[in-house]
Chains A and B, each alone.
Chain A
Amino acid sequence: MALRVNGTEHVLTVDTRTTLLDALRERLGLTGTKKGCDRGQCGACTILVDGRRITGCLALAVAHQGASIVTIEGLADGDELHPLQAAFVEHDALQCGYCTPGQICSAVAMLDEARRGWPSAVTEDLAVTDIVLDDDEIRERMSGNLCRCAAYVNIVAAVREQAAA
């Protein structure tokens, strides 16, 4: 099967049981995407598939033939960090760093969702499509990524800065 990962075409043979997460980590050596629970309960494996954030641990690779995937390894432009990566460092929005790739991929997609007018569970007026990312919105939209070190306050600060940028 074929997968396009960070702009590079990969052709590989996979077990039907292989998830996108394991295809990345075990087969392609892209270990930046993390396994925290392997059951969709932590968000550490968040990747962008055709522009959308998903949990790679519950997506079977065979069901994503030809998909275009962006992982944490694909966000920086050469030595130039993606603005969210830089913001995470500057705001110390990480401690052990294990949830961090998932957090950052999630935040990248989240800003895009907000630009497209997607609401959240805390959006008061669903008719409004001009989403203002206040702290409560950021917290809710980033709640699919557990951080056991509990860097949440700093994660919100990093995302807030980029939401305003």
Chain B
Amino acid sequence: MRPFRYERARDAAAAVELVSREPGAAFLAGGTNLVDLMKLDVERPDLLVDVTQVTSDRIERLPDGGVRIGAAVRNGDLAADRTIRERYPALSQALLSGATYQLRNLATTGGNLMQRTRCVYFQDVAKPCNKRTPGAGCAARDGYHRGLAVLGHSPSCVATQPSDMAVALAAFDATVRVQGRGGAREIALTDLHRLPGDEPQRDTVLERGELIVAVDLPALPIAARSRYRKVRDRASYAFALVSVAAAIDVDGEGAVRDVRIALGGVAHKPWRATLAEQALRGGEATEESFARAADAELSRAQPLPDNAFKVTLARDVIVRTLLDLVEQP
């Protein structure tokens, strides 16, 4: 690891100022991803600005019925929060299925969203990677990509966003509150992470120095009956091959009033399944309709030679999760 300076900012504005004016500066929250990448010489900041004390570590109810999650709320606390468990159970499940208690006790809400995409070649400085060194080439496309993207990837990058939490937040129309040098702005969570395109080095739309200060969840009654299903190689402590956050509201006639579906482990960002949702809204809630909706979403998939199974898997998991939701008492 290269040497760096460490500063604890006095408030969010000061943190933003510090990182904005120094090109080699980075925010440090829980460190579970950043410190790891620094050990691998992938991240090489000159200055770490500790932001764990400058944003809120509380979960507040908003006047409109929504919930505001401070960026410094630890993943462990968020997963255990009574309000989240009752009103957004898929978010709690997503957090609980990610990493381990030890890591969730370090990781923060803001930091979790800012974790880099995963790919073994990104983590190995001896191998080419466009994300690490734009223009160097992508070793994964013709290499080890069993766990990588099937949707929205580009010739330059096929990495996946590994956050489980972000998948549930994407399904629930969360908004990310960001503070920058020029002031505050709000970004839909589904717009925070980018597809790689020809700029894979940029994981998110945030500008240099912009700091996530909170995540807002809308009231969203449908979320109270939601579910997160994560499929992975190990029973625990593993990244998703495919995951699904879903909620569905079916009327007395068996028609879909509303539905929310997001996928994890399949793209460079949490993948809101808008085509599947469109196909389902107003239609009937049957296994066949769920399968048609899943197929509609996955018709966009462009699997690589070794990850085509993810398309089958994603379809099966979407269908099963929706069925479980409509069948649960």
Contacts and interface: CB of A to CB of B under 8 A. Distances in A.
B92 A16 contact: no
Contacts of B13: none
Interface residues of B, number: 37
A64 to B, nearest CB: 10
Interface string A111-154: 00100111111010011010000000001110110000000000
A83 interface: no
B175 interface: no
B102 A43 contact: yes
A143 B35 contact: no
A33 interface: no
A23 B92 CA distance: 33
A85 interface: no
Given A17-B3, A116-B80, A126-B89, A46 B102 contact: yes
Given A16-B6, A55-B106, A141-B101, A60 B35 contact: yes
B28 A63 contact: yes
Contacts of A62: 6
B3 A58 contact: no
Interface in B173-201: none
User: Interface extent on A, as a size class?
Assistant: 35 or more
B105 A129 contact: no
A2 B102 CA distance: 23
Contacts of A123: 96
Interface in B81-128: 82, 85-86, 89, 92-93, 96-97, 99-103, 105-106
B237 A58 contact: no
Contacts of A59: 31, 35, 106
A76 to B, nearest CB: 22
B160 interface: no
Nearest first, the 9 closest Cβ-Cβ pairs linking A and B are A144-B100, A143-B236, A126-B85, A121-B96, A118-B80, A16-B6, A52-B105, A55-B102, A121-B97
B80 to A, nearest CB: 4
A91 to B, nearest CB: 21
Contact of B3 (A16, A39, A53, A141): A16
B76 interface: yes
A74 interface: no
Interface of B: 1, 3-6, 28, 30-32, 35-36, 38-39, 48, 50, 52, 76, 79-80, 82, 85-86, 89, 92-93, 96-97, 99-103, 105-106, 235-237
A17 B3 CA distance: 7
Contact of A129 (B31, B39, B52, B82): B82
B5 A16 contact: yes
Interface of A: 15-17, 19, 38-40, 43, 46, 52-55, 58-60, 62-63, 106, 109-110, 113, 116-121, 123, 126-127, 129, 139-141, 143-144
A141 B235 CA distance: 12
A38 B39 contact: yes
Contact of B85 (A38, A60, A119): A119
B104 to A, nearest CB: 9
Contacts of A16: 3-6, 48
A143 B5 contact: no
Contacts of B102: 40, 43, 46, 53-55, 106, 144
16 contacts: A16-B48, A39-B36, A43-B102, A46-B102, A54-B106, A55-B106, A58-B103, A60-B28, A62-B6, A63-B52, A106-B102, A117-B80, A119-B79, A119-B96, A121-B96, A126-B92
Contacts of B50: 63
